[in-house]
């Protein structure tokens, strides 16, 4: 009886996990697509404008401008000149997120980690395909604020995801949802009860 119960409990957990994987993968893919599309637009329209001396586009003067910068550092221009290090770090962190995705059942954590993964991949693509060569390429930045480094959509995703992860950790939200944890505990208790019953 307990084995049947365990299988019944596993079914909803598997479905929940598939939903979480869809959230994580969909968020990451959405960030990458939006990031690369906006960078392509910056290369096509903003770079010629800046190179010609026409200057940036001010959306809210002087608070928000669209410009063009080739960044060889990390997010917001930090660590300029260490592109290869950030390439390696992005690959490692991305691999860790993908590995952890097999155990995540919390949609909130999936959303945060998906945003982080998408942001890392968005900038990693730049570093792999742009001059001067694979792993050393510059990252396209184009969003400017007063007295702040120029950034891009991937940087926004990374920052928002990091803030979200800190908030989730502070609130004590587990990577695995409470419902799935309770289901797993109940199934384990049922199995132990059956073992004791068989032994007597």
Q: Is position 10 annotated as part of the catalytic site? A: no
CA-CA-CA-CA torsion for 44, 72, 154, 78, nearest 10 degrees? -140
Q: 7 burial class (0-12, 13-18, 19+ CB within 10 angstroms)?
A: exposed
SS3 165: helix
Catalytic residue among 45, 61, 126, 141: 141
Q: Is position 191 annotated as part of the catalytic site? A: no
Q: Are 152 and 141 in contact (CB under 8 A)?
A: yes
Residue 97: enclosing H or E segment and its boundaries? helix 83-100
* Contacts (Cβ under 8 Å, ≥6 apart) of 121: 28, 31, 32, 90, 94, 154
| 57-60 sheet: strands from edge to edge | 57-60, 64-71, 139-145, 148-151
Give the pair of three-digit tokens for residue 195: 């073992």
Which string of b and e fits 151-165 if b means at least 16 CB within 10 Å?
bbbbbbbbbbbeebb
Catalytic residue among 35, 45, 155, 185: 155
Q: Could you list the active site residues? A: 141, 155
């Amino acid at each position: 009886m307990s084995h049947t119960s365990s299988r019944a409990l596993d079914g909803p957990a598997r479905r929940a996990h598939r939903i979480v994987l869809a959230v994580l993968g969909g968020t990451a893919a959405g960030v990458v697509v939006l990031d690369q599309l906006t960078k392509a637009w910056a290369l096509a329209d903003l770079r010629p404008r800046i190179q010609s001396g026409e200057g940036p586009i001010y959306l809210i003067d002087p608070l928000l401008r669209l410009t063009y910068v080739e960044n060889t550092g990390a997010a917001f221009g930090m660590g300029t000149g260490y592109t290869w290090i950030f390439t390696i770090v992005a690959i490692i962190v991305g691999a860790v997120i993908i590995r952890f995705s097999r155990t995540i059942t919390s949609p909130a954590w999936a959303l945060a980690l998906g945003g982080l993964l998408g942001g890392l991949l968005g900038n990693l693509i730049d570093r792999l395909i742009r001059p001067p060569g694979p792993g050393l390429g510059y990252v396209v930045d184009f969003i400017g604020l007063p007295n702040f480094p120029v950034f891009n959509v991937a940087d926004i995703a990374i920052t928002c995801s990091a803030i979200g992860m800190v908030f989730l950790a502070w609130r004590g939200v587990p990577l695995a949802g409470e419902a799935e944890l309770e289901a797993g505990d109940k199934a384990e208790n049922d199995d132990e009860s059956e073992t004791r019953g068989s032994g007597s």
